[in-house]
Amino acid sequence: MRPLVIVPACTRDFGEHPYHAAQHKYVDAVVLGADCAPMILPSLGASLDLETMFGLIDGIMLTGSASNVHPSYYSEEVLDPSLPQDPARDQTTLPLIREAVKRGVPIIAICRGFQEMNVALGGSLHQAVQAVPGKFDHRENPELGMDEQYGDAHRVRLTEGGFLRGILEADEIPVNSLHGQGVNEIAPCLTVEAVAEDGLVEAFTVKDSPGFTLAVQWHPEWRIQHNPYSMKMFGAFGQACRAYREQRRSRG
């Protein structure tokens, strides 16, 4: 049996009905990159039974999303009310992250998931990176096709001696860029693993975590099998999930 990885869903309205939804590319990345079995987790908020979940799972992948983490979680007001929010996802993922880190459950996080981890662990966000002096505009051009939107946009420098550099065996790599928000103050328990050319934090891990933790601001799930760096990241995550599964079994 493959390790079980939960993929927390976003809440979206299709027609007049609300849905729990996850994009295909994230689910595919769990299968094709990590060689694990994905399970979409509804955004149930306070109704989520964490004990049941942690009794079953071997890993967590936090996806990107069009929605933003609500700024009240880092003591700010909403800067642009036209941007989408997803309170049910916030209420699900933020406590899930804190408990998973405590238990050593392997985590890989992408874009919104990267931002969720920073906020859940005590950090804050720039709500509009493009408005911050000295920072680039990291948003995609919506007028371009998907391949161009998800194409390489800039390079990131990997921290010397860092966890991510060890996995990728590279000093810098090209990445795509499809985000308007980004890390402002990084949570005290996090270690920076990569920065963009403008100094924006692009990857981190959790210091002294008992388990695998890797969060990136870019989208490694896009056409994952065509990107060797993405395959290495998800491959390492999959190995961590298998190791955690064996530990969980040995504990009975």
65-79: pLDDT as tens digits: 999 999 999 999 999
**How is residue 150 written in tokens?**
């998800």
- Write down the catalytic residue from 126, 193, 221, 241: 221
Given a cut of 70, is residue 252 above it in pLDDT?
no
Residue 17 designated active-site = no
Verify whether residue 111 is a known catalytic residue: yes
pLDDT (tens digit per residue) in 157-190: 999 999 999 999 999 999 999 999 999 999 999 9
Q: Which of 36, 111, 126, 179 is catalytic?
A: 111
Span 4-250 CATH architecture? 3-Layer(aba) Sandwich (3.40)
Between the CA of residue 78 and those of 71, 74, 75, 156, what are the distances in Å? 6, 11, 10, 29
Catalytic position from the list 126, 138, 179, 219: 219
The two tokens of residue 240 are: 């961590």
Domain-by-domain residue ranges, the chain?
4-250
> Active-site residue 189, yes or no?
no
Full-model pTM: 0.97
